Structure 1
Amino acid sequence: MPVMSLKAIAGPGSVTRVSQDNAVEDARSARQRDILKTLQQNRQVDVTELAQRFGVSGMTIRRDLAELDEAGQLHRVHGGAIIRRAPAYGSRASIQAGEKAAIARVAAQLVEPGAAVGIDSGTTCHAVAAELAHRSDLTVVTNALHAAITAREGGSRVIVLGGLLTPELSLVNPGIVREPPQVHLDLLILGCGGLSVDRGITYFDPTEVEVRRLLASLADRVVVTADHTKFDRKKAMVLGPLDLIDVLVTDAAPPEPLRTALAAADVEVVIAT
């Protein structure tokens, strides 16, 4: 029996529909990213103004705002949306605290002696910094003040990327992407807002994604630390596809089809117990 290609089986019409669906999804993702950036700048957005700006209907914008509201990235109000403040850092650190501690212990074991390691912002990455705090042989590169202060306790050299201080006590600076620091990272410890098959590694805050993308480009290996609550969650800001990850350290086996997608992307999944 001859082997038929997917295109031959599905037919040209199906392939065209897939391409059209992908284009719609790309446009929707780009529009939602732009909405969040506008919200960061202006603290509120208006449905009518957004519809005129993007050349779409008010109903389309309302669907965008509903999705972003459901994902916890803004707060819908009559006629638009306002910025939603993230829970305080301390309160988030207490969520899944045991799982984060176990993940941090395993991730810290991946840091070789004398390594240059990048550490992302966020509570799980801060837990990794705490696991490394007794070491004095590392070069730590971070834009997160929590991680920088903790890692410095052991005497390791700490390089802090400068910029505007965010409420999370991380520093963001668009200029750093144009003039990246002259450093090489053996390993990058990344957190995430969500991991999904279709969007890959995603985040809430648009201002920090470019810094993360820069650090990933400087690293030989990327280790994502994420507990099971991040599985199949989607935030609007996309860092990159799953194959950007070398190792995923987590507390539970990912569900299908995410598990299959991670295997296809050649991601090593380490479950901390």
Structure 2
Amino acid sequence: MSEENPAEGDHRRASIVTALREGVRRVDDLARACGVSTMTIRRDLRVLEQRNEIRRVRGGAVPVDAWTFGHRRGRSTAAKDVIAAKLRPLLPERGGVGFDGSTTVHSLARLLKERPANDLTAVTTGFETFHELSGTPGCRAYATGGTADLHTGSLVGPLAEVTLQQFALHTCFLSATCLDDSIGSTEFTADEAAVKRALTAVSRRTVLAVDSSKLGRSAVAKCLSLDEIDILVTDLDPLDERLDPYRGLVDLL
């Protein structure tokens, strides 16, 4: 048996968690959805339970309600590193940028600390991302304020949206819970979707960064249509056939 690529396992386990949060519960159904054996699913569920991302139940599993930033940061790490490296050249050396509170975009903030810009102003809806950016040379960081979304930890609500209206940004960097070629990007909560739309509204360019496990899926709250996204960045090669549904609709990186 050939050894599995760690990124493939990360992607599959991320897909499992997403499927659980969408209502798929049984091991057999998860195996069919992921195209792997039930034995592989059971191994993945043991890993996810150790990370406290899911709870095993008879015949399957359910998602853990408290999906903390730390838990999410530990998922699909290889894919996030690939995406962050692709995102770094899209950052201007000076001017204003927006960062959402996702762990994917947080990976870009960490990379920026290693390779600083010259005179960058960054506003973010993520407390952890603000903390990362505030210690970065050549970067002036602002946090929006607002209420922490219980599902994501992002700062949301009227205060966050009003704060964003005070900025005129060059580029905003967002992630998404899911991305579907007909629906666009979606989120687990309407508040999270609203604050990301507010970031887009004050930015000249919108970059959406998602790992490939999120493609072809949808969550409950609509966020951005594909025509509102300028560049789609994934961990895949831009020529990968899994990106065919988005080809010609957005720039792929």
Q: Same fold (TM over 0.5)?
A: yes
Equivalent in the alignment of 2:120: 138
Report the Cα distance in structure 1 between the residues aligned to 2:163 and 2:109, rounded to whole angstroms: 26
1:170 aligns with 2:154: yes
Query: 41, 44, 65: which is aligned to 1:85?
Result: 65
Match of 1:249 among 211, 221, 233: 233
Tell me whether 1:199 sits opposite 2:183 in the alignment. yes
Contact 1:177 1:214 in 2 (8 A): yes
CA distance in 2, matches of 1:67, 1:176: 26
Supply the RMSD in Å over aligned alpha carbons.
2.7
Structure 2 gap ranges (5+): 1-19, 26-62
Structure 2 CA distance, aligned partners of 1:204 and 1:166? 10
Change in CA separation of 1:268 and 1:236 when aligned onto 2, cut-off 3 Å: same
Match of 2:92 in 1: 112
After superposing on structure 2, the runs of 4+ consecutive aligned residues of structure 1 that deviate more than 6 Å are: none
Question: Quick one: distance in 2 between partners of 1:175 and 1:146?
Answer: 18
Alignment length, in residue pairs?
194
1:161 aligns with 2:149: no
> Which residue does 1:227 correspond to in 2?
211
2:125, 2:145 within 8 Å by CA — same for their partners in 1?
yes
1:243·1:262 contact (CA, 8 Å) conserved in 2?
A: no
User: What secondary structure sits across from 1:115 in the alignment?
Assistant: strand
Contact 2:174/2:209 (<8 A) preserved: yes
Q: Over residues 78-113 of structure 1, what are the superposed CA-to-partner deviations in whole Å (9 max), with x where a residue is unaligned? A: xxxxx9614332222121101101111210221011
Question: Could you tell me how far apart the structure 2 residues matched to 1:126 and 1:199 are?
Answer: 25
Post-superposition offset of 1:137: 1.9
Aligned residue for 1:36? none
CA distance in 1, matches of 2:21, 2:113: 39
User: What is the CA-CA distance between 1:180 and the residue it aligns to?
Assistant: 4.9
Matches within 5 A, 1:42-57: none
Question: Distance in 1 between the 2:170 and 2:163 partners?
Answer: 20
Identity fraction in percent: 28
Q: Which has the larger radius of gyration?
A: 1
